[in-house]
Amino acid sequence: MSKKRPDAVGILREIAIMTVALLIIAAAVFFFLIPSRCMVSSISGLAILLTNFTPLSVSQLTMILNASLLVIGFITCGNVFGLKTVYTSIMLPVLIGVFEKLLPEYRSITGDAALDVVCYIFTVSVGLAILFNRNASSGGLDIVAKILNKYLRVDLGKAMSAAGMCIALSSAFAYDKKTVILSVLGTYLNGIVLDSFIFDQSLKRRVCIVSEKEEEIRHFILHELHSGASVYQCYGALHMNEQKEIITIVDKSEYRRLMSYLEKEDPDAFITVYKVSSMKYRPKAPDYGNDA
């Protein structure tokens, strides 16, 4: 019985985190995107356009559109991603609907559409970052971006920009040229923010090290960082002296620890660093025997 408790706590914690992220996204849509009338990289933006042709509210249209794309998420992204997105796809329009009920006469805080778009981009990015780091989505274009990232290896920010650009251009059916331009520029800026400042956090780094203290560095990587590494024989081109090169792939926090260690242990080490957007490998079972 006691073994089930940590699972329940973990599920509740996951739901709480996703709810906070959705609240941030819903606030960004209601307080900034809807008043601007711009359609920036979101299904909610498309819902804003459709309110010009239907009596339904933004929250109701967002629910309908998210439900349609949710089916695609189940098929292409697996059950874990899909189950999380069921919750987020339902809760996002619900939260937007709560704001609509509480503040039916709300108008723009800034009074300027361009400023509203900028505020929306940076606010919604916080919520999206939290969701993507939990392997979840707010639904809609986030599902499209995940699909493009999974099957075409397109960066998530760029994938969202491509899908969002189609929606931004469709604003021409209902709004003036200024709104269309703001939608397009906002979508482009949104992609840059997501790609550079949010999804970059999940990138790993391939670090190649040539050092006289190869054994100490290898021990640090294996037993302090608890990461893997490969060791290759290499030769200096000038004197053809034999050396060993350590190659390891680390995340952002491990990279900082590794570079701090190298600076202290061997400041003269030759180091090259490459960004790694994805990896595919089969995890090995823990080895409790002697290290061969």
Total of domains in the chain? 2
pLDDT band at 286 (very low <50, low <70, confident <90, very high): very low
pLDDT of residue 82: 64
Same domain for 185 and 149, yes or no, is yes
114 versus 11: which is more confidently predicted? 114
142/226 same-domain check? no
In terms of phi and psi (left: phi > 0; alpha: psi -120 to 50; beta: otherwise), the region of 125 is alpha
Determine, yes or no, domain membership for 103.
Answer: yes
Strand locations in the chain (E): 204-210, 230-235, 242-250, 270-276
The confidence score (pLDDT) of residue 114 equals: 92
Categorize the per-residue pLDDT at 92 as very low, low, confident or very high, splitting at 50, 70 and 90.
very high
pLDDT at 244 over 60: yes
Residue 286, in any domain of the structure? no
Taking the C-alpha atoms of residue 45 and residue 33, their distance in angstroms, rounded to an integer, is 7
75 closest CA partner among 176, 146, 165: 146
Look at 84 and 46; give whichever has higher pLDDT.
46
**Is 112 found in the same domain as 42?**
yes
**pLDDT of 289 higher than 90:** no
Q: What is the average pLDDT across 192-201?
A: 67
- 99 with 208, same domain: the answer is no
Q: What is the pLDDT of residue 70?
A: 79
Last residue of a domain, one of 177, 201, 225: 201
Which residues, at least 6 apart from 40, have a Cβ–Cβ distance to it below 8 Å? Answer: 33, 117, 120, 121, 164, 168, 183, 186, 187, 190
Residues 98 and 230 in one domain: no
Q: Are residues 38 and 91 in the same domain?
A: yes
What sections of 134-269 are H helices per DSSP? 141-152, 156-170, 177-193, 214-223, 252-265
Within this chain, do residues 100 and 216 fall inside the same structural domain, yes or no?
Answer: no
Interatomic CA distance for residues 227 and 208, integer angstroms:
14
pLDDT band at 283 (very low <50, low <70, confident <90, very high): low
**Residue 62 and residue 130 in one domain:** yes
Q: Percentage of the chain surpassing pLDDT 70?
A: 86
Is residue 285, in this structure, part of any structural domain at all? Answer: no
**148-195, pLDDT tens digit by residue?**
777 887 776 677 777 888 888 988 888 889 899 999 998 888 777 876
Q: Mapping DSSP to helix (H, G, I), strand (E, B) and coil, where does residue 37 land? A: coil
Per-residue pLDDT at 288 = 37
Q: Is residue 283 part of a domain?
A: no
Residues 216 and 187 occupy one common structural domain? no
Q: Rounded to a whole number, what is the distance in angstroms from the first to the last CA of the chain?
A: 40
Q: Are residues 93 and 185 in the same domain?
A: yes
CATH of the domain at 229: 3.30.70.120
Distance CA 257, CA 274 (A): 16
Do 125 and 186 lie in a common domain? yes
Which structural domain, as residue segments, surrounds residue 234? 203-276
The pTM score is 0.68
What integer pLDDT is reported at residue 215 of this predicted model?
92
One domain, residues 171 and 220? no
